[in-house]
Amino acid sequence: MKILIIEDHPGDLELVCRRIASVLPDAIVECDIRLQAALNRENIQDFDTILTDLSLPDSQGVAAVKRLKVAAPDVPLIVLTALADDKMALEAIEEGAQDYVNKGDLRADVIGRAIRYAVYRQRGITENERLVRHLQESKALLEQKNNHLQNLCDTAQKFVDNVSHEFRTPLTVIMDYTNLLRDGLVGGVTEEQQRILAIIDDRACDLNNMVDDMLDVSKLEAGMLRVWRREVTV
């Protein structure tokens, strides 16, 4: 675990370092006495947690919290406060700090617990934010695919309508002329010719019914055709 401490008081800094070493012996601790020095670190986002005093030579109050959250938004922040700074510590939490530790109670278990809890909470926040982003990206992708499918459906609907129209027009002409021939309105026909004309008429009717079925299925899929159910005797 990497920890950054921003504290300008030598005695407080030494005490905090000792307390951390006693509960987190493997922790790597780095220190700065000014806020700007910490902000200038290229690796500031690599720390697992940051502890900062609210009274620094170049920063007073919650301004340090605001600037640190901008520089390292995903790093949990713990503020170190004096006995009379509890109100300011609560303001710091409202600005994004995970926790605060009163310098009058710098016991090893207190500071160790604050660090561990801050890290765990920040991990939970980071994971939740990742999940939210993933859900938003998934939603956007689904909407994009849904729009694409809707466009395909509309194109298919238009295609079916056009094909049905192109089929129906010549079929109607064929059926009309077949009836004219069968009825002898354009001259006499033999029995064999009548048989052939009947076959033509039957096949044309079959194609016409097929076109009707295509239109019905297309309208049903588009939600334009209602289905009426009733009991029948088979």
Per-residue pLDDT tens for 27-50? 999 999 999 999 999 999 999 999
Give the Å distances, CA to CA, from 159 to 27, 44, 164, 215.
Answer: 68, 60, 8, 11
One domain for residues 86 and 7? yes
Let me know whether 33 and 92 are in one domain.
yes
CATH number of the domain within which 35 lies: 3.40.50.2300
Q: What is the pLDDT of residues 162-174, one digit of tens each?
A: 777 777 778 888 8
The residue-averaged pLDDT of 66-77 equals: 93
Contact 20, 3 (CB under 8 A): yes
123 occurs within a structural domain: no
| CB-facing half-sphere around the CA of 150: CA atoms within 13 A | 7
Is the pLDDT at 78 greater than 90, yes or no?
A: yes
pLDDT over threshold 70, residue 222: no
* Identity of residue 51: L
Q: Are residues 78 and 169 in the same domain?
A: no
Given 71, 106, 141, the domain boundary residue is 106
Same domain, 102 and 9: yes
Co-location of 176 and 100 in the same domain = no
Does one domain contain both 24 and 87?
A: yes
Same domain, 19 and 84: yes
Q: Which carries the bigger pLDDT value, residue 31 or residue 153? A: 31
Contact between residue 7 and residue 37 where contact means Cβ atoms under 8 Å apart: no
Q: Which two tokens stand for residue 199?
A: 């076959």
Both structure tokens of 70: 């901008």
Based on the fold, state whether residues 98 and 155 are members of the same structural domain: no
Q: What is the mean pLDDT of residues 86-92?
A: 83
Range of the domain at 168: 151-221
Contact 72, 44 (CB under 8 A): yes
Query: What mean pLDDT value characterizes the chain?
Result: 86
**87/161 same-domain check:** no
Size of the chain, expressed as the number of residues it contains: 234
Final residue in a domain of this structure, among 76, 106, 136:
106
CA distances from 120 to 49, 126, 130, 212 (A): 10, 10, 15, 65
In this structure, what DSSP letter does residue 5 have?
A: E
In a shared domain, residues 91 and 162? no
For residue 77, pLDDT over 70 is answered with: yes
Tell me whether residue 128 is in a domain.
Answer: no
Number of domains observed in the structure of the chain: 2
21 and 102 in a single domain? The answer is yes
Please indicate, yes or no, if residue 232 is contained in any of the structural domains: no
Q: Is 99 helix (H, G, I), strand (E, B) or coil?
A: strand
- The answer to whether residue 125 is domain-embedded is no
Is 140 inside a domain boundary?
A: no
Does 112 reside within a domain? no
Answer whether 0.75 is exceeded by the pTM.
no
Picking from 46-55, 143-152, 203-212, which range would have the lowest pLDDT averaged per residue? 203-212
Residue 234 lies in a domain: no
In a shared domain, residues 21 and 92: yes
* 114 inside domain: no
Task: Please name the amino acid found at residue 173.
Answer: V
